[in-house]
Amino acid sequence: MKVEKKFALIKENIESACKRANRKPEDVTVVAVTKYVSTERAIEAFNAGIEHFGENREEGLTSKWEILEGRPIWHFIGTLQSRKVKNIIDKVTYIHSLDRLSLAKEIQRRAKTRIKCFVQVNVSGEDTKHGINPDEVIPFIRQLDSYTNIQIVGLMTMAPNTSDEDALRNCFRSLKEIQEEVKKINLDYAPCNELSMGMSNDYMIAIEEGATFVRIGTALVGE
């Protein structure tokens, strides 16, 4: 199916989810995750009007960034090795996977502009998942006060790999609660107004629970 058609369907779903949650569709940004697809498919997505793109590897980001001449807004969404920061930092506006101080240090050192970062939180507590434990989010963010090249725009999580709707909802709800706690401490470098949560299988639930960025791969650009 053409990306244009899939995008239209997803926009309809977003509208319904927003209606159920009494939210505005404009407050939800779709990030097209192009990690599994060809550069041609990414171009098709760009031509279909998608403005935000996400990649989880340096190679995928660099090749698509070059072809699209940096026109879309790029998000780095995957585990980020510190040694790769220098290769991606000039290409991305957002990093969704800030999960340790050593990575923050490298971003601070290499960035030429202020990077919008999400702190990745391991809400579900699964060992296989990256991210900071919920209890450590505020202490971690407090440590970033001298990191002038980092703005904490929000929190990100990967939900458990399950179709259990309650488990997914609980995960998203917990991230929202942690966000409220961060907002309460009112740090100028951590407005934390955004929530990056929801992928192909669970983005509607995530939106009902407050997602402002949904990261959609398969359902949007999958071939």
Least distance from ligand PLP to the Cβ atom of residue 111, Å? 21
**Inter-axis angle of helices 3-21 and 39-47, nearest 10:** 60
13 binds ligand PLP, rule: CB under 6 A:
no
Least distance from ligand PLP to the Cβ atom of residue 36, Å? 7
Instruction: State which of positions 37-56 bind ligand PLP (CB under 6 A).
Output: 56
Q: 13 or 200: whose CB is closer to ligand PLP?
A: 200
b/e per residue 169-199 (b: at least 16 CB within 10 A): bbbbebbbebbeebeeeeeeebebebbbbbb
175 binds ligand PLP, rule: CB under 6 A:
no
Least distance from ligand PLP to the Cβ atom of residue 221, Å? 8
Q: By CB under 6 A, which span of 59-67, 147-155, 167-175, 214-222 interacts with ligand PLP?
A: 214-222
Interface pick for ligand PLP out of 14, 37, 77, 153 (rule CB under 6 A): 77
Q: Kindly determine how many residues on this chain lie close enough to bind ligand PLP according to the rule CB under 6 A.
A: 13
* Euclidean distance between CA atoms 88 and 115, whole angstroms: 12
Least distance from ligand PLP to the Cβ atom of residue 158, Å? 6
124 binds ligand PLP, rule: CB under 6 A:
no
Which residues have C-beta within 8 Å of that of residue 185, sequence separation ≥ 6? 138, 141, 142
Rounded to whole angstroms, what are the CA distances from 144 to 83, 99, 119, 176?
20, 12, 11, 21
200 binds ligand PLP, rule: CB under 6 A:
yes
6 binds ligand PLP, rule: CB under 6 A:
no
Rounded to whole angstroms, what are the CA distances from 34 to 37, 38, 113, 141?
5, 8, 25, 29
Beta bridge partners of 120: 156
Least distance from ligand PLP to the Cβ atom of residue 148, Å? 26
Q: What are phi and psi of 45, to 5 degrees?
A: -65, -40
Beta bridge partners of 73: 52
Q: By CB under 6 A, which span of 19-27, 103-111, 180-188, 213-221 interacts with ligand PLP?
A: 213-221
33 binds ligand PLP, rule: CB under 6 A:
yes
Run of H or E residues at 118: strand 115-120
Chain positions contacting ligand PLP, by CB under 6 A: 33, 35, 56, 77-78, 158, 199-200, 215-219
